[in-house]
Structure 1
């Protein structure tokens, strides 16, 4: 796996050139992103863990195209590298146009200081409008997901397959499996894991996703018995928050992750 490493006085982060995907990261000596011990290292296959980039669609595609788009499986171009910052770009190609027939450029700037920051920029380089959705699919390392909770989504509309869509009531307890999208979720989120808190701040990302399948993941080849070790708390623009860009327009957004003891 072709990787680079960012280092600052606050920690380190390892990034794969495939997907411009942060694989794992430490802040102040404490690991806070989860990379499955069973993650694939085969080129072109999705890597389970870290922060995959789901683009230009999130989740299943109505026409049966690869789930979560193609960005996480592509080799991104490294345009700039400093000890604590890396800039990656992904442009349309013959391969991407077979799946999504548009001209585009995505720029992802990853910065490591007292937090891990993602600056996400999409440019419509086509002559026609483009529609897309995306999520920064963050996997957080936890002691036991069943003892964790997420704050910051009280009152946000919660959508789950097979469930009635209803506003979230209070804190999200993670003692049961969850796969939920939250709308109009611009506020900062807080993942509590014992005496540790992960702050998940975002700008111009209106959606949040919380996911851990629980014991059902035992049958997933790259998760297996390790499912209690993580929870995904994601930010982006998915579903009703999908983005439309006219020709020449750009979309900018940011996610910032930090961790501290309570």
Structure 2
């Protein structure tokens, strides 16, 4: 329990900041969509544009004009993804690779504590950390819909699926960071590499929607398995996303445990 407290205390400020910013963002986005009727003039302007210009905006922009679309896309906004990425990356990179670099992990392991227990405690701490942020964001979205629109059971269920899917995506990114941290001994390098990998996947996800030559990469892209607008419209299988991301998380965790148990610390 003391280790959980240590992790929580180390990242308490970032946790509170993330909860406040993301939750406020969700609430305000849905408040604007539900209280201001701007869909008609925007759709009129869109229809006046050439087809190739309309295609640049895409279906995501059009779906943003509805409450359901706004609720889905607010949880897929770059601001939300960036903050969650920082949280998913900073915990493993700081407390594994970062502490190896500082020499403090060697001191911790000099006590009668098993490496696997330390790693699993860190993993669970990160899982709970991400859950709290996403849970509060989801509650904020549901509260805003309930106040300014109408929260139905169907919409509530879809929002739960989107929230769970988002949580699994960033648990995977955290697990990937944990894996790289178990190989490296510099926290900054791990953070930069994972952030770079996530950014490449993100950009490739959108480019593959516009460029036929790279569409074959979609099944291998992690962001293919988090498309909230498709979950909202029923065009994507939540169970498939759940299965793929869960398998990747378990694989990363197994590799992390094996490598962390067999590596020399420091080194």
Whichever of the two has the greater Rg, that structure is 2
Identify whether the pair has TM-score above 0.5, normalized to the shorter chain. no
TM-score range, shorter chain: under 0.3
Greater per-residue strand proportion:
1
* TM-score (ref. length: structure 2): 0.27
